A = this chain, B = another copy of it.
Amino acid sequence: MGLIVQKYGGTSVGDLDRIRNVARRVIETVKAGHQVAVVVSAMAGETDELVALAHGAGGDTPLAREYDALLSTGEQKTIALLAMTISQLGQPAQSFNGRQAGIRTDAAHLRARIENIDTANLREVLDAGVVAVIAGFQGFDDGGNITTLGRGGSDTTAVAVAAALRADACEIYTDVAGIYTADPNLVPSARKLDRISYDEMLELSSLGAKVLQIRSAGFAMRYSVPLHVRSSFDDAEGTWVVSEEEVMEQLLVSGVTYNRKEAKIRVRGVKDQPGIAAKIFSPISGAGIVVDMIVQNLSQDGTTDLTFTVEKACYAQAIEIAQRVANEIGAAAVEGDENIVKVSIVGLGMKDHAGVASKMFQVLADEGINIQLITTSEIKVSVLIDEKYAELAVRTLHDAFIGDGAAEPAQES
């Protein structure tokens, strides 16, 4: 007998019929001999309605504390309905909002971080054979204020609860069968991975793969929570996200992914002297804009170019700031480009293998694709290319490194 944490997103609990399906799956897990804690999101559409109400009442920037109080009602509805439904089907269940579940966070409304979880209440209920139904996405701070965790918050709740309860597994139910070597819509030969390491998952999440939110992947890694990403439509095994040692088949490259959400800005003719980068990036990060890739060209004639990427949503603001700073520091020009895509390969195997990056560049060059920027980490290489080559690049790299279902294990390459 084990303890399983299950997480269901807004689509899986979108109406009473779907909630009944979730209830049945929960009960099956109980009947298989497990204790079960379920984390749920707001019913699909509910959060959008609440956001619209908030802006109707509070304008462009509604009071953050009240915004959280409002949004948290979405999950609170789902937990009550799911607990009722499970009980109605004969299995005792009890709902827990963030506070009742003991999920204490910092006071950063809209994007709070979980500080600790007092599991006493949950434990008591689980030990009594009752299913605990927990509101995702929400917690409370030291002042008793309701907080929310921001995007993907329900995943984070599930992983944090699993960590705190030392659960045997944390099952993340989604509308896909697991984690794929590439987007199956783009690459027909993409295959589902049976296992992937936390590090790889973290890179994939941060690079734009939508299956698991990056903070929850980081949380799972830090606390070694065995994650199981699987489909809510069938009982097939999905993808296990586990520690590096537990990944049997270490692929040279386990995933090819892309991100269209960034835009490129280049500041040209910048005097190459100490402190010049800080002059440009301090006001940008001061405006709350996250800079992703940064590359500085080799200096020529005492001047250099600085190129970086930001989220497209912040592009206009970032370029305005860059323009202002460029004037102040006497830079030659500011150029921007929104038609770019970041394509990345990720794989534990490349840690021990030279030549992965250069093979990537060659593959792209063979297709006539020009590389604008490069960044690397121990298990990842990302390149910025013209957006129109996105699909071609992903398919070609997938063919070259992973192939059609017969991926070459790293140790043999």
Chain A residues packing against B (C-beta within 8 Å) = 16, 19, 50, 53-54, 56-59, 62-63, 65-67, 69-70, 72-73, 76-77, 79-85, 87-88, 94-95, 97, 99-100, 121, 144-146
7 smallest beta-carbon distances between A and B, as pairs? A58-B84, A70-B80, A73-B73, A69-B80, A57-B84, A66-B80, A57-B81
Contact of A99 among B70, B76, B99, B121 (CB under 8 A): B99
By beta carbon, the residue of chain B nearest A64 is B84
Question: A77 CA to B74 CA in the complex, in Å?
Answer: 9
The contact of A16 among B53, B85, B94, by CB within 8 Å, is B53
List of B residues within 8 angstroms of A146 by Cβ: 97
The DSSP consensus for interface residues of chain A is helix
Number of identical monomers bound together in the oligomeric complex: 2
B-side contacts of A56, CB under 8 Å: 16
B66, B82, B83, B121: the one contacting A84 at CB < 8 Å is B66
- Nearest to A59 among chain B residues (CB) is B88
Contacts of A85 in B (CB 8 A): 57-58
Q: From the candidates B69, B84, B87, B95, name the one contacting A97 in the complex (CB within 8 A).
A: B69
A77 and B73 form a contact (CB under 8 A): yes
With A54-B84, A85-B58 as contacts: A99 and B144 at CB distance below 8 Å: yes
A269 CB, min distance to chain B CBs, angstroms: 46
Q: How far does the alpha carbon of A129 sit from the alpha carbon of B99 in the complex, in Å? A: 27
* B54/A66 in contact, CB under 8 A: no
Chain B residue at minimal CB-CB distance from A19: B57
Q: How far is the CB of A288 from chain B (nearest CB, A)?
A: 21
Tell me how far the C-beta of A30 lies from the nearest C-beta in chain B, rounded to whole angstroms: 17
A143 nearest in chain B by CB position: B121
Minimum CB–CB distance from A23 to chain B (whole Å) comes to 9
Are B73 and A76 closer than 8 Å at their CB atoms?
yes
Other-chain residue from B16, B63, B69, B121 in contact with A144 (beta carbon distance below 8 A):
B121
CB contacts (< 8 Å) of A145 on chain B: these are 100
Given A16-B53, A76-B76, A77-B70, A84:B100 Cβ within 8 A: no
Q: 6 extra interchain contacts, Cβ-Cβ under 8 A, other than A54-B84, A69-B80, A97-B146?
A: A57-B82, A57-B85, A62-B88, A66-B87, A69-B95, A72-B76
